Amino acid sequence: MKHRYIPMTGQDEAEMLAVIGADTIEALFADIPAAIRYEGVLPMSGPLDEPALLRHMRLLAGRNANFDEYVSFLGAGIYDHHIPVVINHVISRSEFYTAYTPYQPEISQGELQAIFEFQSYICELTGMKVANASMYDGATALAEAAALAGGYTKRSRIVVSSAIHPEAKEIVRTSARGLNLDIVEVAANNGLTDLEALESALTDDTAAVLIQSPNFFGAIEDARAIEPVIHGRGGLLVMSVNPLSLALLEAPGELGADIVVGDAQPLGIPASLGGPTCGFFAVTDALMRRIPGRIVGQTVDKEGRRGFVLTLQAREQHIRREKATSNICSNQALLALCASVYMSTLGKTGMQEAALLNVRKAHYAADKIASLRDPHTAAPVFELPFQAPFFNEFVVKLPQALDAAKLNAKLLRKGFIGGYDLALADPSLSGHMLIAVTERRTKDEIDRFVHELEECCR
Amino acid sequence: MNMKPTPDKALIFELSKPGRVAYSLPACDVPETEAASLIPPHLLRAKPAELPEVYEVDVIRHYTELSRRNFGIDNGFYPLGSCTMKYNPKINEDVARFPGFAKIHPYQPEESIQGALELLYTLQNDIAALTGMDQVTLQPAAGAHGEWTGLMLIRAYHESRGEKRTKVIVPDSSHGTNPASATVAGFETITIKSDAKGMVDLDALKAAVGADTAALMLTNPSTLGLFEERIVEIANIVHEAGGLLYYDGANSNAIMGITRPGDMGFDVVHLNLHKTMSTPHGGGGPGAGPVGVKSKLIPFLPKPIVSRRTDGAYYWDYDRPASIGRVKAYYGNFGILVRAYAYIRTYGPEGLRRVSECAVLNANYMMHRLAPYYEVAYPGLCKHEFVLSGRRLKSFGVRTLDVAKRLLDFGYHPPTIYFPLNVEECLMIEPTETESKETLDAFIDAMISIAQEAEQTPEIVRNAPHTTVVKRLDETTAARKPVLNCTCG
């Protein structure tokens, strides 16, 4: 069988078998007992030649409504931001994408420096002292933060704001079962974590409070009010944040957070049905030697040149095995590179401008939607139920007769990907929709979207 | 101290000059209200994040220069044992970037992502067929994540039967993630010794299993590159004790189409798509670690999985009341799953079998040619990889680490070293099927030269590498006085 990725010729095969002293390739599998050998051809999808594969993949891709052809107002954790053109060129350098984890630092200085710069970017944005080389995604990073808090404080109760992304909450719950942590969820009020409920949920066995800001409803939490409450009990404050928002919003390190996590998807990473993205994880100095995952440190070579290495490995599974702080043995290096190139490209002023554009366009859209009036009663058609300040996402209450899923189906026919149906996260929020507006949305698109919303109410 | 032959590569932060930009953002076409009028000022940042200010050429030259200081499969041979550093096909990169795959949202209506759902559904079934399992979740993001997911499934299974089983058995040759995953899943790890042939010691296994055994985690072929010939007996011992068998799929590149974990008696399997299915390692990730299970474990799989209605429409199946819950946001690393699917469709089942045959032939050939120069840890047949010991060179003052560093001067990525832990001064070599005999021969010649250097001019080996952009780095100081970023001093 000839194949373009396999160089083995009949002559190669004969020469190599002769060196081994075997008659056939089959003889090399003599150690696999006959009873468990698979006879015949596996019932899998068949092979396609290159042109046919391209055609097949185009056909599958063509059956998905994509952001180039549809105008998206969907967020809820994954956003349609502009991705600067240079990013794909950088991550397409195969020295980056075909490399393994940088175990051999002398020939991996490029990746190691890129990660060191990523860690620096995350520290600068979050105001934290130490960041790791990245995690699978923001949601698993939050679960790792709960694990760290439990291990560090030797306490077992984790208090979770119900305004955290529902999938992140689910993952925290899944992982808590393995770690014997108790998860207690506190309600949200007016779109924000209810401070009184939070206070009454805290005990002396509380390892941490987990909040998200901007939270799942888009609202910006007042971490300054939450910080003394949890620290007063000797627990940790864990914040999950949107990294783009931090160009404008106060750095969690300044707010007293002990662990800051989030998903770097808004920083130049394609939506790609939600993955792969890139989680980040940053901590205070005190937690440095407990942070999960890879970390790159600066050092010198024996001739005094600056260089970078994987460091603090005594925490990790390949050294500590069952006593490791986490089982993670990879990072999302290529996506961390996306995020780094994004931040390099936007820089200090671009990040601020992009964040401000998100704020302005989202507020324009919210005002416009809130201003729609019923022609007969002059009452508002859509309500914005929460009064809390927001970044680029907000909740809209639909008129009684309007079902979010049906509304989205109608919008799709008009070329729009509508908002997130909050009934999926919380049945009590049936009839509510979460709408995201990024810098990519033009005034014209917003106006047309609002017009379609109005039409759908008729 | 010597003169510095090359200057330090600048950090992107060191290139910054206020006033330069590398971006072009959309104009503001809505009212230009001040941030402080839209968001209460106490929530706003008191001082701006000091990110670099550079222009586009700086960005491109900086990262291009970094890439030149890195080594990937496209640069040369990368025989890193247990990592399956095979060629990463370019068509996979192209198709994953199609807007219909890259620019879609996880919460779009199902009717607007039927192509993506069909791809995932087919991939679930193909992986099930390849591994001999009954159902597959594509959610786990990596091998270790798959291990943890699998162990949580095993935990849920035992609990559903009212059994409290607290122990997970791993052999001493196992990857470090196995015991670490067991801990995170709430199990205690029992490590059992390998026998003189590198296989699971059946007596040790029999002594370790009992009413508290939740599972045995096994890589087969093992990290020594050896197939556990008594796998059926092993499976029986564990099953008779009421435990389950977990298959770490790190080494699946040896057995595709030849034997299946499901037929060996395993109950849960993860595959590393970034190994076996050619998706790029990306410098450390992203990967994907789908998990397959036998039917008795299907109820516990993470939700959702992709299902198909009788009318042919695909949908997210959330109706799984016994599910362990979610393990990853959304549906896993979709972009990686697209690449793996394209890879499977490139080969088909018979092609995948040929992949494994050639991977095993390459490994056995290298092992035989290197045997006169380096001690083969476990002579006989190997599968896709084999383990050498460099202990003979210790008498010349040369360690395996030195051999690895010297290989850098020959233009190779070294093999995995000092793993598995049960072989002294070991080198673990995995050539994969995508390397030619000429490449293997050239690498073998380099290894032979280094063995000779070790005897004749050991200082050349001890001081290697000589040709890289930096020499050996001071890792001790890096860990003792950590400098982990350039922004907070």
In a domain, B39, yes or no: yes
Residues A120 and A143: beta-carbon distance below 8 Å: no
Which of A341, A356, A433 lies closest to A391, judged by CA?
A356
What mean pLDDT is reported for chain A?
A: 96
A453's tokens: 């919303």
Name which of B33, B57, B92, B107 to mutate to probe chain A: the one with the most chain A Cβ atoms within 10 A of its Cβ. Answer: B107
Residues in contact with A229: Cβ distance below 8 Å, sequence separation at least 6, in sequence order: A195, A198, A199, A202, A209
Query: Is A55 in CB contact (< 8 Å) with chain B?
Result: no
Domain span at residue B465 reads 357-475
| Residue among A25, A174, A314 minimizing CB distance to B327 | A174
Whether residues B213 and B335 fall in one domain? yes
Tokens of A123: 């520290």
Residue from the list B13, B91, B282 with its beta carbon closest to the beta carbon of A97: B282
CATH number (domain holding residue B239): 3.40.640.10
CB contact under 8 A, B28 and A25: no
Answer yes or no: is B4 within a domain.
no
Q: Which residues of B touch A277 (CB under 8 A)?
A: 329
Q: CATH number of the domain that B408 lies in?
A: 3.90.1150.10
pLDDT in tens, B252-288: 999 999 999 999 999 999 999 999 999 999 999 999 9
Helix (H, G, I), strand (E, B) or coil at B246: strand
pLDDT in tens, B300-317: 999 999 999 999 999 999
Together in a domain, B288 and B161: yes
Query: A residues 184-213 near B, CB within 8 Å?
Result: none
Does residue B157 carry a pLDDT above 50?
Answer: yes
Assigned domain for B239 exists:
yes
3-state SS assignment for residue B319? coil
pLDDT band at B6 (very low <50, low <70, confident <90, very high): low
Alpha-carbon Rg for chain B, nearest whole angstrom, is 25
Task: Look at residues B346, B381, B407 and tell me which one is the last residue of a structural domain.
Answer: B346
Nearest CA of chain A to the CA of B434: how many Å?
5
Domains by residue range for chain A, with CATH: 71-81+347-456 (3.90.1150.10), 85-342 (3.40.640.10)
Q: Residue A209: pLDDT above 70?
A: yes
Q: Tally the domains of chain B.
A: 3
Please provide the DSSP assignment of A55-115 as one string.
HHHHHHHHTB--TTTSEE---TT-------HHHHHHHT-HHHHT--S--SGGGBHHHHHHH
Sort strands A182-186 and A157-161 into parallel, antiparallel or unpaired. parallel
- Is the domain of B196 the same as that of B322? yes
* Section B384-409 average pLDDT: 97
**pLDDT at position B2 over 70:** no
The domain boundary residue, chosen from B292, B313, B346: B346
Q: Are B371 and B260 in the same domain?
A: no
Domain annotation covers residue B386: yes
Together in a domain, B276 and B233: yes
Q: Which two tokens stand for residue B194?
A: 């390998």
Residues B33 and B111 in one domain: no
CA-nearest residue of chain B to A244?
Answer: B49
Distance of residue B247 Cα from the nearest chain A Cα, in angstroms:
15
| C-alpha distance from B155 to closest chain A C-alpha (Å) | 9
Give A172's Cβ-side CA count (13 Å radius).
Answer: 33
Q: Give every CB contact of residue A144 below 8 A, 6+ residues apart in sequence.
A: A135, A261, A281, A292, A293, A326, A328
Does the pLDDT value for residue B102 go beyond 90? yes
Put simply, the chain A residues between 365 and 384 with a CB less than 8 A from any chain B CB are none
Going by pLDDT thresholds of 50, 70 and 90, the confidence category of residue B96 is very high
Partner-chain contact A107 B2, CB within 8 Å: no
Does a structural domain hold residue B171?
yes
Residue B362 and residue B341 share a domain: no
φ, ψ dihedrals at A108, nearest 5°: -130, 25
| Residue where a domain stops, chosen among B287, B320, B346 | B346
Answer whether residue B482 is part of any domain.
no
- Same domain? B110 vs B197: yes
CB contact under 8 A, B21 and A349: yes
B377/B452 same-domain check: yes
Q: Measured between beta carbons, which residues in chain B are less than 8 angstroms from residue A314?
A: 479
Q: How many whole angstroms separate alpha carbon A22 and alpha carbon A36? A: 22
- State the average pLDDT over residues B39-53: 97
B379 in any annotated domain: yes
Tell whether B147 and B262 lie within a shared domain: yes
Say if the ipTM goes beyond 0.90.
yes
Same domain for B154 and B185, yes or no, is yes
**In the prediction, which pLDDT does A328 show?**
87
Query: Is B77 within a domain?
Result: no
Q: B363 and B338 in one domain? A: no
